[in-house]
A and B are shown apart, each in its own frame.
Chain A
Amino acid sequence: MSRDNLLSSEQDVLVDANVFFAIGHPSNPKHAQFRSAIRNAGVVCKLPQRVIGELGGPKTDRVQAALDEGWAEIIDAPSPTDGDAVAASDIATRTIANETGKPEHEVEKTDAILAGLAIQYVKDRSTAGVVVLTDDKPARKGIENAVTAQGYTDVISVYGLADVIGDNSGDSMRLI
């Protein structure tokens, strides 16, 4: 079940904060699987400052560990200003509102902005491609819809954690 070809070293991998919680603590097998998938692909997880927020306290120690080990870095991704990027965040907002049955103004801006950040990133930098990783299903759907609607599917791929390390299975979980 080799999934190494999913990520390649030419791509920039933008990661939402939830991925670091989905993989658990360093003692969790998923954590090791994800870390080696990232390292084997020769990429570094780029964590936009505005999606991770403030680090500190025991709950973000696993993010800090990844930063210390060098397979993740915090980047200051420019805000979406390009027309396509701004529209992408709007599409993501509408999709998330639709998925969750909430009014658009109740959709968290940070959930929707990753779509805009990804497109802005492609516009600003010469990149062979961008991968957006998020384990939050409604948020992921928002980004996917935005990328498709704006015609960026050839340069931006959207994946969840299971796409990188395989389907999660109950036998790696302490049940009680």
Chain B
Amino acid sequence: MRRVGDSLKYMDSEQAGMNDTNRIHPDGGIDVLDPPPTDIMDEETLEPARLAQNAPRLETVVQLLNQPALARVYVYVCYWGPVSPPEIMDDLELSKSTTYEYVDQLVDFGLVDRDDSTRPQQLTADPIIIVEQYIPIVITPTVLHALALQEVDEDVEYFMDRYGAGKLIAALRGAGLHFAGKTTQRMVATDIDVRETEAMMIIYALEPALTVGRTHDPFFEHLFPDVHDQMDLPSLDEGDGAPAESDSHE
């Protein structure tokens, strides 16, 4: 673990570039640069009743961040719902028991709605968004998708093992800027402090999250307010709304 002193010293040297809107925070937004102003919280926001109302939401997001396999099912339902458990099994290549275990968990968390009036049951999920500009943190379905990719992509898994979620989110933002032509891959490497080849690897590995996110994530603009409509990415060819997965080499 980095000590607090290290992290502050490190961030000081970065302050000069902080006004640039294209700036990728080297740590993906974990360290606090300056404490937020106290007046951003008011009595109304801090009403115990309101805090209590939002507490479960925070807990569920933490669950998703800590369980990429669960996040993967959530994102699938969110993007392609209504879907049935057998569709999840097939498209995500999960066992029946695992699928139902995850679905039950997501329903318990209140992240997925289950309609039992039809056979098979139909599942839907509302997209979630958490934005905290002072830290900064942005969590949208696209971000959860990027984290979930570690379940199926060895490059994302490697990057997560080595650098963690904060830097993966920074890489996601860098990848979006790259596909919009606003930064080179080597610039991303320098910005997020990874090797050049690691930046190249993760930029392409995150392409699916951006490709799907820009058409399916209603909060895509929160992550890419500047370049959401400028990315040069493959177009999705989806006949029936299910993921167009590759069968060509199988």
Contact = CB atoms under 8 A, between A and B. Distances in A.
B186 A111 contact: yes
A20 B201 CA distance: 9
A79 interface: no
B61 to A, nearest CB: 19
A47 to B, nearest CB: 12
A96 B183 CA distance: 8
B192 interface: no
Nearest to A170: B234
A176 B72 contact: yes
B234 A168 contact: yes
Contacts of A17: 196-197, 200
A60 B197 CA distance: 7
A58 B158 contact: yes
Contacts, number: 121
A136 B184 contact: yes
A18 B178 CA distance: 12
Contacts of A107: 184, 187
A100 interface: yes
B96 interface: no
A134 B234 CA distance: 18
- The secondary-structure label for the interface of chain B is helix
A63 B196 CA distance: 14
B75 A173 contact: no
Interface stretch (B28-36, B41-49, B115-123, B206-214): B206-214
A164 to B, nearest CB: 16
Contacts of A170: 211, 234-237, 244
Contacts of B203: 21
Contact of B248 (A20, A58, A172, A175): A172
Interface in A30-70: 32, 52-53, 58-60, 63
Interface of A: 17-18, 20-22, 24-25, 27-29, 32, 52-53, 58-60, 63, 96, 99-102, 106-108, 110-111, 136-139, 168-176
20 contacts: A17-B196, A18-B200, A28-B249, A29-B249, A53-B197, A58-B154, A59-B195, A59-B198, A63-B197, A99-B181, A100-B184, A100-B187, A136-B186, A137-B181, A138-B183, A169-B235, A170-B234, A170-B237, A176-B145, A176-B149
